[in-house]
Amino acid sequence: MVGLLGGSFDPIHHGHLLVARSVLESLGLESLRFVPARQQPFKQGAHGATPEQRAAMVAAAIADEPRFILERAELERAGPSYTIDTLRALRAREPGADFVLLIGADAAADLATWREAEAIPQLARVVAFARAGAAPVSGSLIWRTVAVPAIDISATDVRERVRAGKPIRWLVPDAVARYISAGRLYLDEG
């Protein structure tokens, strides 16, 4: 099984990586692909870094883990990044792959409202991840729920710390912190 973890990754942080590691191990995935969105439909105009900068930060964050892979499918496609389009593109490219779409509990609660939601489980098993101790997520579109450790880091907080001149060490991998500093990212956000 190949896990797919999508998001803005603006920037990728240790919370993303901890969830990825936890799900990789609990499901016994052969690999986990990070899928940065070119443009998330619900966050249009809200990204602080360009798609290529976000992809570069993902690549830097996962460089030392061979089972973590940067998936560029959404970066190579114009327009909003809809999950159904990505899954169809991946299925066409890799017809024999066993894909597992990983989504957080909050996203899972809204899954039925996604574009062509009913077709998603035909292309990938949908696994919701929730903090340990939380009620399992259920629904006809969800294959399974996996408990993950609770870690309270948000990309919004990281960006705000950068803008305020505060350190982000231990919130993001060192390579990501260096990339943000070198590129002077997030300094001009309003």
Other Cβ atoms less than 10 A from the Cβ of 50: the count is 13
Cα 123 versus chain centre, distance: 18
What is the greatest pairwise CA distance in the chain?
A: 48
* Per-residue pLDDT tens digits for 118-140: 999 999 999 999 987 788 788 99
- Residue 41 to residue 80: CA distance in whole angstroms: 5
Write out the two tokens for 95.
Answer: 């017809």
Residue 43: per-residue pLDDT? 62
Please write down the HEC assignment for all residues of 139-185.
Answer: CCCCCEEEEECCCCCCHHHHHHHHHCCCCCECCECHHHHHHHHHHCC
Question: Which has the higher per-residue pLDDT, 47 or 122?
Answer: 122
Reported pTM:
0.94
Q: What domains can be seen in the chain, in order of their start residue?
A: 2-98+153-183 (3.40.50.620)
User: Beta strand 68-70 with 125-131: parallel, antiparallel or unpaired?
Assistant: unpaired
Most confident of 28-42, 122-136, 158-172: 158-172
